Structure 1
Amino acid sequence: MIRPLLIAWLACLSLPAFSDDCYYYWVAQCIDVTDASQREFQQTVLISPAVNYLNSAEGQQCSEAVAQKQAPVNAELLQTFNQAASRGKACTQPITELQAKVYNQPGKASWHYQHSKKERPHKTVIMVSGTPVLK
């Protein structure tokens, strides 16, 4: 009885590690406090045009995979986001760091993306076109 269980357990250990499906987008924000005493501010959100897909390497977490693939194009991304930021009133300082929002479930990624790009009275959203797709 123990022998078949032991064989099944060893077989499970020898299965290859599978890669993960990763979903990501880039977002940055700028805040302009118009009247601190009244807690009035203007938020500008810069967001990539869509949720993108990346298949991570075997055994690699999605956040690691996206960060690794983003590194070679990071300067281009920052330049693209800073060009778009110049169109917003709240972005007075250049964006110096950009991290992707990374998810391993498409539904979660889509929900957070839709929530981030929704405009509100004190929130302006700028879609940043020309962002690279990581491969």
Structure 2
Amino acid sequence: MSSVTSPAQIAATLTELWSPRVIAEVDDAYIKVARVHGTLAWHSHADEDELFMVLKGRLAIEMEDRTVELGAGELFVVPKGVRHNPVANEECHILLIERKSTRHTGDVVTDKTRSLDEQLRPVA
């Protein structure tokens, strides 16, 4: 049975930056939240779209042909195959919706890359 969840409250409790945590699942997708600040990494997801929604703060999503700026309550879907780099100049809380097959930073591995096991850890 499902339970009521507050993505904004859960994101506010996170202590690690750029470490998404799975808070729910719908069919073949995970709903994740993350606390972010700074730059993640240029990467793409060859076979999956990625939805970003800002819960608090501002997020820029750099792409090769443009940059999208999101404020609280706004969302944007990065289409599959599009190289992108999320950037938060100040602390930002985000909600992500991704297929369960989506790797955190695509085929790029950095010190910020998180495995699915890390993302599935219980939130305190």
TM-score after normalising by structure 2? 0.26
Higher helix content, 1 or 2: 1
Structure richer in strand, relative to its length = 2
Larger Cα-atom Rg: 1
TM-score (norm 1): 0.24
